[in-house]
Structure formats: structure tokens, C-alpha cells
A and B are shown apart, each in its own frame.
Chain A
């Protein structure tokens, strides 16, 4: 029997849904193959999240608590993860593919001399390792990839697996952690625009995304209004984040975030492959674009060919009526 360990990511005082998706999948793999599904929470208040993790099937939950984990810093995190790996000795250590994960995954693999596959959209156990599918070439195609090693790190794109509740009476193990801040070479000077009540795009049910076609103030107002009516998160194409019109954290796509909402409304976005790379897994896609040949229409379930400034006002009114 070996161990499948899932990292539970905490962001803004909440467990990231994507890490529970990964845990749900690991639990399934563990049950099918007679392995153990375990989880680890590394946070300033790690123990607060234990109960929620229990309901997704972890048989053992490691916690590591220290004030240093309040903000993301790669040096203490690496040290923490290395210690967890020594303690739990996982065959597979699975992560949700968040920015924090991306920051340390390669370094952790190098530190532990472990094999690593990043940003997979599915993975399975095979003899002596794992097999995985990875979107490549700006997510135009999938590669089948294998990793063979005693210890394998894998990070999973958000929205790849469904949440499966599976209440388990888990054993909780606290791992001591101490970190001498004078060891820190890198210093965190400031955090800008850390979200308060902003909607986490990687978890949003509905996303309204704006592109170059909606770059002026009137366009932005319409986008905000539509998002308000739908309770949606707002995303953007690179054209708008690059121009400084939208916050860089809102970029969706290859450079930006990968999202998988129930409803994605692309407004004034052409549908470049690098944008589509981040949103093609949305359940329902609506596109509003004045160019009937825009590539976004090739993947849209509902395509509206028209000027967004003319289409959005009545669209917002109709949706208001439905929502009331």
C-alpha cells in the first residue's frame, strides 16, 4: 500500500475548491487501488480547515501551522513541503495548480529528486508511476505523459475533477515547523491588491470576460452591469490587462488563469488560441462579437454577431427580468 497525498491550498481564509477536486480524485484512486488517501494543510491557521477536509475522504490529515505561512513565500514553503514529504513519504503528492503551487513545484521536485508533471488535466496510477494527460501547444492538443519514480509530484488544472463528498474519520497529525526568519534571503516587501471579497475566477460559476472590443469606459460599465446582474466574476483578455485597463490577475488564458465556470460570456474577444486555452472547459460559452468570422464563434454554444454596445443593454434587461 502506498500513499496518495493531496495538498490542501488555502486562499483568503478558504480552502481552494480545486484542491478538494484533487483530493476527491486521489480518494477514488486510493480506493480503487488499495492505497491510502491523505491530505496536508500548511497554513497559519491550518487546524481550522481539518473538518472540511475530513468530508472529502482523507484518512490522515497532516497540519503544519506557523504565522510565516500567512503570506506566500517560497523559502519557508519549500522547507515545509520537504518536511511533509519526509514524514508522509507519499508515492504521489498531488496539488491544485495554483500560482503558489507553480512557484514551488519545480524546486520541490529538484529538492526531493522526485519526478514531476505539472498542470495535468487528468492522471491515473500505472505500474511504478503515473500516467497523465497534459494540454500542450497552447492547449490545442493533449499529450499523454508518464512519470516513473518512487515519488511523483503532480499538479492538476482546476475544474478537472468533480467534488465527491466522502465523510471519513481521519487521524490528524500535527507536524512541527519552525523557521528562522533570518534565514530568509528573499524578502516580501508588499502585497498589492490582495483580494478582499473579489470572486476567485478559478472557482466562479459564471464569468463575464471582456476583450479589446469593450475597452472604453462605456464598455467597462456594461461589463460591470452584466456581471452584477449575474453575480459573475469578471475576467479579461490579454488585450485589456496589457493595456492596464483591467487588473493583471483577471487575465484568462495561457499566461493568465485557467477557468471552468458553468457559464462564460466572452465580450469583444476574438478567441485567440492563447485565450481559449484558459476557458475552453467552460460548460456553456456565449460570445458577443461584431465580426461573424471571429474564431471565438467556433467554440461558442450561443454566438451573437453584433455590436456589444447595442446588444448588451437589452441583454442585461432580459437577464434582469429572468433573475427577478
Chain B
């Protein structure tokens, strides 16, 4: 089984953020492996451990993303590809999918695994875009993966129930973090990761001229969400609080 896992470096949403004149000011030192991609890496490793094969991670971004790639290697991925961008522009899902599709054009694999969405933008688009561009059968929002002879069996969370889908190889799947708890790299894993192969690829070698990438969507600014004010807080005897709040819900808020 050859797995490619597409991983993205994203800002840590738990870090404090500020908006100044519509621009987002965030701590660029707090970049992490997208949580959904971490689950995709974990699941690929579990399947490799059970059935053999190889797990290769791919990330598109400026040089800084190599830190995130190392993290995936430290978790246990065998090798990595870094597709280098200048980092001058933030691209949309479609642009990343276009770049990834070019990379995969001449590759052989059984499964391409993505996160179901980027944790910072919640776009959730690049995975199925890539599948369509590569003409692969796919399933999104996977909460479980299994191998059944030559099929990848995906349990995906649908609107009401869970759908069990059999996919032939090659195929693409996007992973939810409900799938597993990604392992924390061990010290040994971290040491080993430094010696694992990481190939750097320039966009030009994929036939892409970065200056000609023109995303159809762009972020023009950021703003605070109209906030909620904390309301009334009750402390004291349970019976009393229960009575007070039930009454307020009925008479003040009118929601009972």
C-alpha cells in the first residue's frame, strides 16, 4: 500500500490573534500541523503497520512548512516532499489543489489522504477538488478506514447516518479528527525524522509559474465577530438557581 498524505501547516487557532485595520496579526511562530491532517497521517501509519507499505507526506508552502513536515516524519511517515512556494501570497484551496494535482499527475499510489478541512479556514474543498482533477473515486469526512482485500473501506459521517463506502485503488479520502487520536512523536521518532528523506520541488519543475497563479477567490480583510455579552450568572443553592433560571427562560427569554 502506497499512501500519500497531503499535509498543511496552519496557524494555531489557540494563539492570541489581533485584527489591525482589517489585517490579521498573529504569532507566526505558532504554526502547527493541521489537526485533520494529523489524523490522516495517523490512520495511514496504522494501516501501514497492519498491512505493510509506505507513507509519504506532501506539503505545499514556503520553507517554514518543513518544520511541520518533520513533525509528520517524526510521527512515523517514511519520506516527504516539500513543494516550495515563495510564501508571498496566501492561496485558496483551488490553487493548492491545482499544484497538488500537477505533482500527482505522474505518481503511482493506492491512496491519497487529505484532511477534511484546514483548521484555520474551514474551507474543506481541496480534497475533493484534487480527486476530481485526478479523476479518482473519493470519500470525504472519513471517521474510519479499513482494508478489505483490495478495497479501502471508508466509514464517513453523513448528514444523519454513517455511510460505509468501498473504494478501489487508487482513490482519495479526506479524514476527520474523529477518526483517531494522532500519536505524539517519541524522542526516537524525532531523532529518526532528521535522517528521513525530504525532497524539495520547485513549482517551475511542475510547469507552474507562481506569478501566473491567479486564485478566483481572495480574502480582503478580517473583522471581529459581533460578540455575545455574558449574561446573568447564578451561584448558590441548586433548587433556587433552577427555579430562577426556569422562570427567566419562560418569562424573560420566552423560549420554553
Contact = CB atoms under 8 A, between A and B. Distances in A.
A198 B160 contact: yes
A147 B132 CA distance: 21
Contact of A286 (B164, B228, B235, B249): B249
A243 B248 CA distance: 34
A318 B178 contact: no
A110 B255 CA distance: 44
Interface string B143-160: 100000000010111111
B125 A109 contact: yes
Contact of B238 (A102, A104, A149, A311): A311
B248 A302 contact: yes
B contact patch SS: mixed
B218 interface: yes
B123 interface: yes
Given A109-B129, A299-B230, A306 B241 contact: yes
Nearest to A198: B160
Contact of B246 (A102, A189, A254, A319): A319
A106 B132 contact: yes
A297 B153 contact: no
Contacts of A315: 242, 245-246
A131 to B, nearest CB: 8
Contact of A110 (B13, B133, B232): B133
Interface string B215-251: 0111111111100101111110011011101111110
A241 B24 contact: no
Interface residues of B, number: 82
A302 B238 CA distance: 14
Contacts of B119: 138, 254
Given A186-B166, A189-B153, A301-B231, A143 B222 contact: yes
Interface string A131-146: 1011111111111111
A319 B133 CA distance: 55
A52 interface: no
Query: Chain A interface: which size bin?
Result: 35 or more
Given A143-B219, A185-B168, A306 B238 contact: yes
Interface in A274-290: 274, 280, 283-286
A318 B122 contact: no
Given A142-B225, A195-B160, A249-B162, A322 B231 contact: no
A248 interface: yes
B242 A314 contact: yes
A205 B235 CA distance: 27
Nearest to B118: A136
A111 B11 contact: no
Contacts of A254: 119, 122
B187 to A, nearest CB: 27
B207 interface: no
Interface stretch (A20-28, A36-44, A83-91, A112-120): A112-120
Contacts of A133: 223
B17 interface: yes
Given A107-B132, A301-B232, A322-B256, A145 B165 contact: no
Given A119-B124, A140-B13, A317-B242, 14 more contacts: A74-B128, A103-B156, A105-B128, A137-B11, A144-B219, A186-B137, A192-B162, A192-B163, A200-B160, A248-B143, A280-B225, A298-B228, A305-B234, A311-B242
15 contacts: A74-B140, A105-B124, A105-B128, A106-B128, A147-B216, A186-B138, A186-B168, A191-B161, A191-B163, A192-B162, A249-B157, A284-B255, A315-B245, A315-B246, A319-B249
Interface of B: 11, 13-14, 17, 19, 22, 24, 93-94, 97, 116, 119-133, 137-141, 143, 153, 155-168, 171, 176-178, 216-225, 228, 230-235, 238-239, 241-243, 245-250, 253, 255-256
4 nearest A-B pairs in the assembled complex, by CB-CB distance: A194-B161, A106-B125, A318-B246, A115-B216
